Structure 1
Amino acid sequence: MGFRHTLRDDKLYFYERRDIMEQRHNYLKKIRQYRREDRPIVYLDETWANSHMAPERLWLDEQGRGGWKRPSGKGQRLIILHAGSETGWTPNADLVFRSKKNSTDYHDEMNSEHFLEWFQKLLVNIQPGSVIVLDNAPYHNSVVEKVPTKSSRKKEMQEWLTRKRIPFSDKDLKKDLFAKIQLSVPNRKLYATNEAAKACGHIVLRSPVAHCELNPIELVWADVKRYLKVHNKTFKLADLEQLVPDAFQSVTPEMWAKHCQHVQEEEERFWEKDGLQEESVEEYIIELGTEDDDDDIEVRDIEFEGEGEDSDGEQDECEPVMDENDRELLRSDAVSDA
């Protein structure tokens, strides 16, 4: 019959969600346009490294002896942030620091203030007119100015209207104040990363949700972690931290170019699969899990973390963390398929 019994790939559900398909189509059209314009494409991302990380396979003798024993647990964690392109790592763009939070999600270590500070340094180290590809982590989506929402306090709405010199009455209800705010805000939010990049002559392009295969730095992180696992002998965080620059150095420009070429092949695969055609597209910003509360966000929040679950129990950045509604949809689909 041509059927086989296999594990269900939950990512396929996200690939086929209408809103995420629209994100993917817009992204593919925009990045194709930028490549035609011969713009440099810069990819950035964050990852982690645990002090107890080590290869999962090792050589043993007939009695099962050999190799070295690693301590139990994951150990302490480093947070790593960097950027690169088909020509290799971006100069002076690495950021490595020690985790201070006891959290399973390394994204908790970063906030919009720290990210924007690093981002400003990145902007002066990339080629003019670059396109910067980033994902939808909350700290990537901080706005230039926080606009009150329907759930904001009345006083906050009044203060915002006062700063904008928009007249209102003390007798106005919250709904009246919010209506005036909606009439006064721009059609699109002004994101801090977008505005900073624009001021330096660059463009920010956000990748679609759950599409880590469209960012070559995900493959680069695998190379970096492979080096760290092989050379991590003491399982001490300080020693692991000293290995990170060498791990970066181990990823050559040729490796970066190969990974970028692979990503372009993935783009073509999606392009053909989705039956896309050449046309001009509007700029599309994905509002997903921003740090600023917004009652009017159209795309439902989905969280992604890790790089596929590894032997240390870390979940990979490519894997979706589904909420109960998503799981119920999958269970319902499974019942109907049966």
Structure 2
Amino acid sequence: MTATAVRKVVDRGTTLQPKTPAALPAPPVFDNFTVGTIRRFIHAKFSAKRVFSVGNLTQELKTAGIIPDVTSLTSVWRLLHDMGFRYKTSQRKVYVRKESLDFVCRRIAALRALWHHQEEGRQVVYVDETWFTTRMNHSREWVDTTQDKSSNMYSRQVPPGEGEHLMVVAAGTANGFIESSFLCYTAKITSGDYHGEMTGELFIRWLTSQLLPSLTEPSVLVRDNAPYHSQLTENSRCPTTATKKGDLITWLEQHRLPIPPGATRPELLLVCQQNRPTPQYKVDNIIREWGHEVVRLPPAHPELNAIEQVWGCMKRHICSSLQRFTRVDLQARLAEARLCATQEVWAAAVRRSRDFEVGYWTSDNIHDAVGPIIIDLASDDEDIEDLSLDSDDE
């Protein structure tokens, strides 16, 4: 190549301007209607148990006319992320705890009994016990993450420790607390299960001196199966594995049951358990002596006891208002919380419990001569918001 040709090539390279890259097309903008349509489209795939990828989803959305034909896979991928969808390990193994047959039958029996008592015109009274502590606070509160956790500027400071506990037992109806039934006392322990603070004798004394004298009309008392509610009468007690062989024989003779000749202790115990008498509870008998009835809820069903939701409202108030975290402060806040549990709160709690009753009537496929009658306590009022269940059930 000659010197002239080399110079021309060099000159051409220095005079050429760099090419401007072509502008990328703006990503498409989807309105709320389109986003909602795409979400329902994907949920329909979930219901149909269909697996999809971004590619075939994009093609199907184009075919259905939901998105324009020029929409790219990248645009659909970004949209899915903006909508909250993620490509991750799905929950393929979901185990649902199956209720035992005994629990289901006890729930059905309780619902039927409650409905029949309401049909008879009895007032429904919800009974329960709970606790309040001087260290109550919300599980989540605003904090200043720029400060050290040990600093007073990090968050509202709650003193360490369990604090003092106040025990409360009360009863109420759709009209509110039965005032003379409200009993509050200081617990002896500051940790552990609060149920140990209530005994059968104390509960019966409260029942006969405060609650039952205040009921002016035939009522049905709804409550759980706490140990102090469930003391058996002497006639309905059945021998246990700790019963001696001589006592087993005596029990069989008292109940006029045949004693197998030469039977060993385990064989005698088996005969006793096979002839176990129907449970009779001291508390239930006392309530019936006063002209009222009892409905025992199955374990782990706090949603059927409306007072559990009222406890939740009161505890939220105390958690938000405690400032000095002393017994005096807690007692003052508890008095305020009682005033917060108005008739409207109670009516909303009862309505919600009855909604659960209707749900169980449907899910358990309960049939009776007449379906359950649900009374609208306040059809013109909205339900109280944020009613939550307390976790005091047995």
TM-score when normalising by structure 1: 0.70
Name the structure 2 match of 1:5.
Answer: 91
Q: Does 1:110 align with 2:110?
A: no
1:115-146 per-position Cα deviation (integer Å, ceiling 9, x unaligned): 11112231111232100011111111102326
Q: Assess if the C-alpha contact under 8 Å between 2:126 and 2:221 holds in 1.
A: yes
Name the structure 2 match of 1:312.
Answer: none
Name the structure 2 match of 1:266.
Answer: 356
How far the C-alpha of 1:68 sits from its partner, in A, is: 3.0
The counterpart of 1:127, out of the listed 196, 202, 216, is 216
Q: Which runs of 5+ in 2 are unaligned?
A: 1-45, 50-89, 148-152, 257-261, 371-388
Q: Which runs of 5+ in 1 are unaligned?
A: 167-171, 281-306, 309-315, 321-338
Name the structure 2 match of 1:193.
Answer: 283
After superposition, residues 7-46 of structure 1 pair within 5 angstroms as 13=97, 16-46=99-129
Q: Assess if the C-alpha contact under 8 Å between 2:137 and 2:319 holds in 1.
A: yes
Secondary structure class of the residue paired with 1:92: helix
Name the structure 2 match of 1:317.
Answer: 392
Change in Cα spacing, 1:174 to 1:118, as seen in structure 2 (3 Å) is farther
How far the C-alpha of 1:24 sits from its partner, in A, is: 1.1
Q: Which amino acid aligns with 2:97?
A: Y
Name the structure 2 match of 1:53.
Answer: 136
* Identity %, equivalent residues: 29
1:289-310 per-position Cα deviation (integer Å, ceiling 9, x unaligned): xxxxxxxxxxxxxxxxxx67xx
Name the structure 2 match of 1:153.
Answer: 244
Secondary structure class of the residue paired with 1:131: strand
Q: Which amino acid aligns with 1:13?
A: R
May I ask how many residue pairs the two structures share in their alignment? 280
Q: Which amino acid aligns with 2:115?
A: R
Deviates more, 1:95-104 or 1:121-130: 95-104
Runs of 4+ that moved beyond 4 A: 6-9, 56-64, 154-162, 172-183
- Structure number with bigger Rg: 2
Q: Assess if the C-alpha contact under 8 Å between 1:148 and 1:156 holds in 2.
A: no
Q: Assess if the C-alpha contact under 8 Å between 2:284 and 2:294 holds in 1.
A: yes
Q: Which amino acid aligns with 2:187?
A: S
Q: Which amino acid aligns with 2:233?
A: V
Answer 1 or 2: higher relative contact order, Cα 8 Å, separation at least 6. 1
Distance in 2 (alpha carbons) for counterparts of 1:248 and 1:105: 23
Q: Assess if the C-alpha contact under 8 Å between 2:133 and 2:166 holds in 1.
A: yes
Name the structure 1 match of 2:179.
Answer: 91
Secondary structure class of the residue paired with 2:170: strand
Distance in 2 (alpha carbons) for counterparts of 1:236 and 1:133: 33
Name the structure 1 match of 2:376.
Answer: none
Name the structure 1 match of 2:366.
Answer: 276
1:138-176 per-position Cα deviation (integer Å, ceiling 9, x unaligned): 1111023263514423565688799x798xxxxx98869
Q: Which amino acid aligns with 2:105?
A: E
How far the C-alpha of 1:72 sits from its partner, in A, is: 2.0
Q: Assess if the C-alpha contact under 8 Å between 1:148 and 1:157 holds in 2.
A: no
Secondary structure class of the residue paired with 1:142: coil
Secondary structure class of the residue paired with 1:124: helix
Deviates more, 1:108-117 or 1:194-203: 108-117
Q: Which amino acid aligns with 1:32?
A: W
Secondary structure class of the residue paired with 2:171: strand
The counterpart of 1:245, out of the listed 335, 356, 363, is 335
How far the C-alpha of 1:54 sits from its partner, in A, is: 2.0
Change in Cα spacing, 1:18 to 1:159, as seen in structure 2 (3 Å) is closer
Change in Cα spacing, 1:189 to 1:23, as seen in structure 2 (3 Å) is closer
Distance in 1 (alpha carbons) for counterparts of 2:342 and 2:92: 37
Distance in 2 (alpha carbons) for counterparts of 1:279 and 1:138: 34
Distance in 2 (alpha carbons) for counterparts of 1:8 and 1:117: 47
Secondary structure class of the residue paired with 1:34: helix
Q: Which amino acid aligns with 1:22?
A: C
Q: Which amino acid aligns with 1:47?
A: T
Deviates more, 1:79-88 or 1:65-74: 65-74
Secondary structure class of the residue paired with 1:272: helix
TM-score when normalising by structure 2: 0.61
The counterpart of 1:77, out of the listed 144, 153, 165, is 165
Deviates more, 1:84-93 or 1:30-39: 30-39
Change in Cα spacing, 1:60 to 1:260, as seen in structure 2 (3 Å) is same
Distance in 1 (alpha carbons) for counterparts of 2:296 and 2:130: 18
How far the C-alpha of 1:55 sits from its partner, in A, is: 3.2
Q: Assess if the C-alpha contact under 8 Å between 1:150 and 1:178 holds in 2.
A: yes
Secondary structure class of the residue paired with 1:233: coil
Distance in 2 (alpha carbons) for counterparts of 1:180 and 1:82: 41
